[in-house]
Amino acid sequence: MTLLRPPLALETMDVRPAQHSIVRGCRALIWSKPSALSASDRRTLFDTLVSVSTEAFGADSTRFWDYRESRGFFDQISTFALVVDPDYRVIGWSGFHRRSIDGHSYTYFDSSGIIPSYQGKGILSRLSSRFMAGEILGRNPLYRRHLVFRTRNPVLYLGFTGVVGAKRTYPKLNGAQPDRVVSIASDVAAWLEQLDLLDPVTLKIKNAYAVIPGMYGEEPLSGNKELDEHFATQLGPDDAYVMVIEGNSLVLLNYIIKTAVRGLVAKVRKSSNRR
């Protein structure tokens, strides 16, 4: 059931976001310096996040966002975004952190989600592509980049495997991981205060979502039977993998271009259906 949230009242906020069209009339409201948000802005955004993420995951997320608020969420995250529908009702959120360890720069994608009625429309992938484009523009095209996620979603794993290739997608589901990948995963886990819960062989974090048990009301499925079975049997209800995508700017640009092309094809098909 979709909740009818009131439109976000941007005019009442002290720090206004940049606005970018995403897809199907939806827009991304992007704060590039979230630490500058006022106390009242933060309260508005946290209340909004509780509402939209509870609908997205099908489970009450109040404890999760209370925990993130207590850990200075907006002071830590590098870029934060809300996704709104054409009437400025919030339907999703995303954001990322810039970090580095042992000379390896990486972008850690924070919690993201979209309400069920807007899932499967390519909205979050388009937003992620915008984030990545901003991160790699102006860099040496051979400069190594890492994208990092804490996730239990096989859809995300399958999506990146299909675009950047299995060789660049970690964890390998059978076997050990390279030292550089373990180093990044360990840095993320330590920053999340979960290093003691990380298995460096599998990159699994035990009880990663213990602060909000049963985070997903209904487990996501990728449609790949073997992959879905692996996630279902190897991850407990509150476990997650640290997923690392490795590549240079050319590899990531390939992902961005393919995402844009899929969006264009969908738009052309929609236009053709109206004739």
Domain ranges within the chain, ordered by starting residue: 10-273
C-alpha span between 229 and 145 (Å, rounded) = 30
- Specify the 3-state DSSP secondary structure of 26: strand
C-alpha span between 269 and 173 (Å, rounded) = 37
Question: What's the pTM value of the predicted model, to 2 decimals?
Answer: 0.82
- Under 8 Å between Cβ of 164 and 247: yes
Q: Write down the H helix ranges in the chain.
A: 39-57, 62-70, 73-76, 123-136, 154-164, 179-191, 225-234, 249-273
Question: What pLDDT does residue 274 have?
Answer: 36
Question: What pLDDT does residue 3 have?
Answer: 60
- Under 8 Å between Cβ of 94 and 81: yes
CATH ID of 10-273, from 1.25.40, 3.30.70, 3.30.420, 3.40.630: 3.40.630
Report the amino acid identity of residue 84. V
Question: What pLDDT does residue 217 have?
Answer: 60
Question: What pLDDT does residue 268 have?
Answer: 38
Q: Spell out a b/e string for 42-65, using b for 16 or more CB atoms within 10 Å of the CB, else e.
A: bebbbebbbbbbbbbbebebeebb
Question: What pLDDT does residue 211 have?
Answer: 72
C-alpha span between 156 and 182 (Å, rounded) = 20
12-65 pLDDT, tens digit per residue, is: 999 999 999 988 799 999 999 999 999 999 999 999 999 999 999 888 899 999
Place of tokens 């675009």: 163
Q: Which residues of the chain have pLDDT under 50?
A: 1, 264-275
Token digits of residue 178: 């390279």
Report the amino acid identity of residue 2. T
- Under 8 Å between Cβ of 158 and 245: no
